[in-house]
A and B are shown apart, each in its own frame.
Chain A
Amino acid sequence: MKRSAYSPERKLALASSQDKVLELEEVTKVYGEQPPVPALRGVSFTVRRGELTAIVGPSGSGKSTLLHVMGTLERPSGGTVRIDGVDVAGLTDTELSLLRAHRIGFVFQQFFLAEYATVVENVADGLLYTGADLSERRARAEEALRRVGLAHRAGFRPPKLSGGERQRVAIARALIGRPAIVLADEPTGNLDSVTGASIVELLHELHADGATIIVVTHDAELAAALPRQIRMLDGQVVYDSAATRRQDAVGQHEEGGVG
């Protein structure tokens, strides 16, 4: 595992009073009413700033629902979700949108790039709903493209890119706003193994640079390549490689009282 302890982002992250960027306490999610289908049955864990975490489980384990709840695209039925110290329960739909715009970056299996727009425009759209003006968006998009090693493709359109390059564009778009968390949903799912490995390498580099990344996947091999694994089964966490640290986190939270 690479760690560059001296990068400014990392120092900033360590200096931050809010070290825990994602806290889930007894989160439940039930779909439907007759009969109720429980997708999450009391999930609790904490992700600290700068962690690279895999959430792994077979289909139906609730990991997709968990991704949506962590990403505030869906509200939990019970329990508490805190993103960067903000309890999402009290927020309106508009406030949740703002939270996503500023604090959460998404990477999807299908990339979701706009084919009519250039690579740099696609990345810049990651800041569209934050209120940044066009020149700032462009400048930061170019910077984000440099971070993922695609600066030379800025003027291309997605159909001209390989799958791996497209996923790098999507990652740059998620990173552009320097969000508190990046949520990646099967980021290598549409890629061959070699390209997938290069994406995993990129995630490691970004992690070394201080980014907090949660990868949701069914791929145990991919999960094993990441520093921390949380295993899901039937809507519950059955294994967390950082279980002891999680205990600490809960203890600290009880002293702190965030909100």
Chain B
Amino acid sequence: MSTATHERAGVGRRVRLSFWDSARVASVGLRTRPLRATLSALGIAIGTAAIVGVLGLSSSSQAGLLAEIDRLGTNLLKAEAGRTFGGQTANLPIEAPARVSHIPNAEQVGHAGLIKDAKVYRSPMVPQANTGALQIRAVSLNLPSVLTIGVDRGSWLNAGTSEGPVAVLGSVAAQRLGIDRVHPGLRIWAGGQWFHIAGILKPATLAPEIDASVLIGYEAAGKYLGHVGVSRGEATHGPPTTLYVRAATDHVEEVQAALARTANPQAANEVNVSQPSDALTARAAAEGAFNSLFLGLGAVALVVGAVGVANIMIISVLERRSEIGLRRALGATKGQIRMQFLGEALLLAALGGVAGVGAGALATAVYAAGKGWAVVVPAEAWAGGIAAALLIGAVSGLLPALRAARMSPTAALRSV
């Protein structure tokens, strides 16, 4: 119906409420029953918070991992003894580290030799079966610098201690043994022998196998645990099982290509070469993928919130029949009544959505700060959260709004 038609009918011009008048009218329910409005918005707030929190946390942890990868560098290569064709665990040749260090652009070479079948206990009194899945590794003294592992407590092995019954614990190994500080006289029972503890390492992100190991010097391994080998006809310390190579940043691929055949020219196929940062990169990608369970829960909470808002709106329309009648008497059109109640549902949902986005972002910030990650709340998370809340408000407010508009003004006025 055009304005001109109204004027011809002599009833004045069609009126559209201003934005502020509409907002004021839509907030009547909120102002008269704030507790009820808050509770009905709560469901939507929880749903939005869950969605924003899940997206924010996964993005933040991804950012954290990427930062970690950046810090650790992607130029570390790992060459591991695989299995022989016969299926037995292979060793690397004792000369492998020396040979690999001659590869052009291989800047640092560290290595570790797994001592097979050696078990670790806090003391000889611990039952045999409680190994804690810990391993003993003989390691080169430069290992922490190659792997960029810091020392958490005590000190790292040195030329002297690497010959004696002295061990340094990986972070997981220390935790499993229940050791959180280092003091003189602290010992563990490893491979049927007492070892003094010199220190505890920080977590080794690029080499998780080091974390769960008790680390000793090659000399000590040979002397106390029988980890010995033969090189050029002479008895010497035992063979390494893993090489860790830092390549020059721009030459990682060349070093990687040469690594297997240099480490074990006789059986290059028994050597597995990998780039540990690949695993982290893959993990970062996986962290970025949405946690579908929690997203699903968030969606369920949103739907429940929608039902809550619809429920409240229907009750509100019934309770406010006289207000609807009065407004119709004051000249409100059906459309204006419809907009009032639709607006009220949208307002409730928007408040819930904004509160939910705030709560989700806050949870992300607190958790990320605790983990030392950058706080990342992706735009699609908060914008999507508010958009979802508004959509839900519109859907849940539609039916009550239509009912309010359809209500006959006289019926509305009678029902007091």
Contacts and interface: CB of A to CB of B under 8 A. Distances in A.
Interface of A: 68, 71, 73-74, 85-86, 90-104, 106, 108, 110, 112, 114-116, 125-126, 128-131, 133-134, 173
A75 to B, nearest CB: 11
Task: Name the residue in B14, B17, B409 with the highest tally of chain A Cβ atoms < 10 Å from its Cβ.
Answer: B409
A128 B21 contact: yes
3 A-B pairs with least C-beta separation: A101-B331, A129-B331, A131-B15
A97 B335 CA distance: 10
B127 interface: no
Contact of B410 (A73, A91, A115, A133): A73
B21 A134 contact: yes
Given A93-B334, A95-B9, A131-B13, A112 B410 contact: no
A171 to B, nearest CB: 14
B6 interface: yes
B315 interface: no
B129 interface: no
Nearest to B32: A116
B28 A114 contact: yes
B268 interface: no
Contact of B409 (A73, A95, A128, A129): A73
Interface stretch (B49-57, B59-67, B322-330, B346-354): B322-330
Contacts of A74: 408-410
B11 A99 contact: yes
Contacts, number: 111
Interface in B1-50: 1, 5-6, 9-18, 20-21, 25, 28, 31-32
Contacts of A68: 409-410
Interface of B: 1, 5-6, 9-18, 20-21, 25, 28, 31-32, 322-323, 325-336, 408-410, 413, 416
A91 B1 CA distance: 11
A91 B25 CA distance: 26
A130 B12 CA distance: 9
Contacts of A131: 13, 15-16
B329 A95 contact: no
Given A85-B10, A129-B15, A129-B327, 14 more contacts: A73-B410, A73-B413, A74-B410, A95-B11, A97-B334, A100-B331, A101-B15, A101-B330, A110-B322, A114-B28, A116-B28, A116-B31, A128-B17, A130-B15
Contact of B11 (A102, A106, A134): A102
B406 to A, nearest CB: 11
Contacts of B410: 68, 73-74
Contact of A86 (B10, B32, B328): B10
Contacts of A112: 322-323, 325-326
B34 to A, nearest CB: 10
B338 to A, nearest CB: 12
Contact of A100 (B14, B330, B335): B330
Contact of B413 (A92, A108, A130): A108
Contact of A125 (B1, B14, B322, B330): B330
A114 B320 CA distance: 11
Contacts of B31: 116
A98 B32 contact: no
Contact of B333 (A97, A102, A115): A97
A108 B326 contact: yes
Nearest to B21: A128
Contact of B416 (A102, A103, A110, A114): A110
A71 B329 contact: yes
The CB with the most chain B CB atoms within 10 A, among A102, A125, A131, is that of: A131
Contacts of B334: 93-94, 97
B11 to A, nearest CB: 4
A98 B6 contact: yes
Contacts of A129: 15, 17, 327, 330-333, 336
A110 B416 CA distance: 8
A97 B331 contact: yes
Contacts of B333: 93-94, 97-98, 129
Given A97-B333, A110-B416, A129-B331, A102 B12 contact: yes
Contacts of B17: 128-129
Nearest to A91: B9
Contact of B15 (A85, A98, A173): A98
Contacts of B328: 73, 97, 100
Contacts of B335: 94
A259 to B, nearest CB: 9
A98 B14 contact: yes
A92 B6 CA distance: 9
B414 to A, nearest CB: 8
Contacts of A102: 11-12, 331
**Most B-side CB within 10 Å, residue of A85, A99, A115, A126:** A99
B32 A128 contact: no
Given A85-B10, A94-B334, A129-B336, A100 B329 contact: yes
14 contacts: A73-B409, A94-B1, A94-B14, A95-B1, A95-B11, A97-B336, A98-B13, A98-B14, A98-B333, A101-B330, A115-B32, A126-B330, A129-B331, A134-B21
A91 B331 CA distance: 14
B326 A130 contact: no
Nearest to B15: A131
B31 to A, nearest CB: 5
Contacts of A126: 330
Nearest to A100: B331
A74 B331 CA distance: 13
A101 to B, nearest CB: 2
Nearest to B34: A116
Listed residue (B330, B334, B335) with the most chain A CB atoms within 10 angstroms of its CB: B330
Nearest to A170: B326
